[in-house]
């Protein structure tokens, strides 16, 4: 069994869906699980629906119709007959979405978020499954929520590995092209949960782990894992082979090609991961596997934009000790702040975080009871693995550096917005 994952950019339109079919002709599709994300920017569009729902906005219905129109245009392009069964299947999903919007009583934002945003993946995989059948490939559409079980930590759920293992081992059929959704799971009451944004890579790794898969391939619009994001750095080069350890380090620091959670289950069973181009599927791409000799020999650059730098200092010049830091981290965890860098002195403590849930205002209110709190919005965090003096100059040149940290392998700097 092999696991393939296609993200939203690869299926953003009818041409993208046709290209998935073409890639499968090259790579093979028997005994394959195809994990697919929502099409294009559908998740963002559904977040607008959620915003309008909670705001009781008059724009709610029009925002739903925008999502429907987008997918309908893809359907019309893909299928010659508008009486094809796929149209009814997709309409049923939109009816389910609209029923939820009219009947839901829960005020829990994160719960509602997961129930609504999940329709992106359900719709995309329904369209793709029908299209593959239309083109002559026998498929099995799997509702991933019947397989991946989680806790009730909506928007960032933790996998129940025992229940998930049993479901996947018992119910996944081999020899077919199985098509399922990335990013989603369900709790013990069968309410939909999500595994965190960009969690489709993680879904692929979960299936691979539970099935002892031969490999996982993530199909991207880039040749593979680069030593830098070409959007921000010139002369980025392809990394042909890297170890699990190095890939985990790069993902931890924010490299966006591979989701951070993806690598751990693969490493435990030494399942190789390939990152390949869906534009040029015959290219070798990047392989991630076991071996210290697979480390890159050139600096790797990672940048995380739109970060928040929080600086705390003691009000009465007392030391910030372990018990204070423990309390600070407990609050960061409570408010779901992802920590990327910390720095402290005797009477100050700074932390660079990703406030993806917009909880800083509440956090600041609590921290201000014990500390003087200042912050910088919209900072950038640069990380260089295997840094050199020349690489450091590339990053630091012309920037207003707020924090700089250097260890044996890694340099990190926080800069003001450019």
Cα–Cα distances (Å) from 9 to 19, 20, 96, 246, 346, in that order, read 12, 11, 25, 26, 47
Binding-site annotation, residues for substrate: 43, 121
With vertex at residue 318, the alpha carbon angle to CA 312 and CA 320, rounded to the nearest 5 degrees, is 50
CA 193/CA 179 separation, integer angstroms? 19
DSSP states along 301-344: EEEEEEEEEEEEEETTS----HHHHHHHHHHHHHTTPEEEEEEE
Residues 385, 242: Cα–Cα separation, whole Å: 13
What are the DSSP E strand ranges found in 7-76? 32-36
> Judging by beta carbons within 10 Å of its beta carbon (0-12, 13-18, 19+), is residue 389 exposed, middle or buried?
exposed
The rounded distance, in Å, linking the Cα atoms of 252 and 391 is 20
What is the number of residues in the chain? 418
Q: Which of 261, 146, 136 is nearest to 197 (CA)?
A: 261
User: Please, what's the b/e burial string for 130-169 (b: 16 or more CB within 10 A of its CB; e: otherwise)?
Assistant: bbbbbeebebebbebbebbbbeeebbbbebbeeebbebbe
Specify burial of residue 102 (Cβ count, 10 A radius: 0-12, 13-18, 19+): exposed
DSSP string across 192-240: EEE--TTTHHHHHHHHHHHHT-SEEEEEESSSS-BSS-TTTSTT--B--
275's tokens:
């990152």
Q: Which residues are annotated as a binding site for ATP?
A: 5-8, 231
CB atoms within 10 A of CB 356: 15
**How far apart (Å, rounded) are the C-alpha atoms in residues 72 and 82?**
10
Pick out the residues of the known binding site: 5-8, 43, 121, 231
d(CA 330, CA 336): 10
CB within 8 A of 91, min separation 6: which ones? Answer: none
Region for 151 from its dihedrals, namely left if φ exceeds 0, alpha if ψ lies in -120 to 50, beta otherwise: beta
């Amino acid at each position: 069994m092999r696991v393939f994952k296609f993200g939203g950019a690869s299926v953003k339109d009818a041409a993208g869906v046709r290209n998935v079919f073409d890639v499968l002709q090259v790579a093979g599709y028997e005994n394959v699980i195809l994990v697919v994300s929502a099409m294009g920017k559908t998740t963002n569009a559904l977040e607008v629906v959620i915003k309008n729902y909670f705001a009781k906005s008059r724009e709610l219905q029009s925002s739903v119709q925008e999502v429907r129109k987008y997918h309908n245009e893809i359907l019309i392009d893909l299928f010659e007959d508008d009486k094809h069964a796929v149209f009814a299947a997709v309409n049923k999903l939109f009816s389910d979405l609209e029923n939820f919007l009219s009947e839901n009583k829960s005020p829990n934002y994160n719960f509602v978020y997961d129930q609504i945003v999940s329709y992106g993946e359900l719709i995309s995989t329904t369209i793709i499954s029908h299209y593959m059948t239309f083109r002559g490939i026998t498929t099995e559409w799997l509702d991933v929520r019947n397989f991946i079980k989680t806790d009730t930590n909506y928007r960032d759920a933790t996998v129940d590995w025992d229940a998930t293992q049993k479901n996947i081992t018992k119910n996944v059929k081999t020899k077919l092209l199985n098509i399922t959704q990335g990013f989603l799971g369900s709790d013990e009451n069968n309410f939909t949960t999500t595994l965190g944004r960009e969690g489709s890579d993680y879904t692929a790794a979960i299936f691979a782990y539970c099935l002892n898969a031969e490999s996982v391939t993530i199909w991207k619009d880039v040749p593979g894992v680069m030593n830098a994001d070409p959007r921000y750095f010139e002369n980025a080069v392809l990394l042909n082979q890297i170890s699990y350890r190095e890939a985990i380090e790069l993902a931890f620091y924010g490299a966006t090609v591979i989701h951070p959670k993806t690598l751990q289950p693969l490493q435990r069973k030494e399942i190789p991961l390939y990152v390949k181009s869906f534009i040029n599927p015959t290219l070798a791409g990047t392989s991630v596997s076991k071996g210290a000799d697979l480390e890159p020999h050139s600096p790797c650059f990672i940048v995380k934009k739109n970060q928040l730098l929080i600086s705390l200092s003691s009000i009465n010049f007392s030391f910030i000790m372990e018990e204070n830091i423990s309390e600070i981290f407990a609050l960061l965890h409570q408010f779901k702040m992802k920590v990327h860098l910390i720095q402290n002195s005797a009477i100050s403590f700074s932390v660079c975080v990703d406030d993806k849930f917009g909880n800083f205002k509440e956090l600041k209110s609590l921290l201000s009871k014990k500390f003087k709190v200042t912050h910088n919005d919209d900072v950038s965090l640069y990380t260089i693995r295997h840094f050199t003096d020349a690489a450091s100059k590339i990053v630091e040149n012309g920037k207003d550096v707020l924090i700089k940290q250097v260890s044996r392998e890694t340099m990190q700097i926080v800069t003001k917005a450019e």
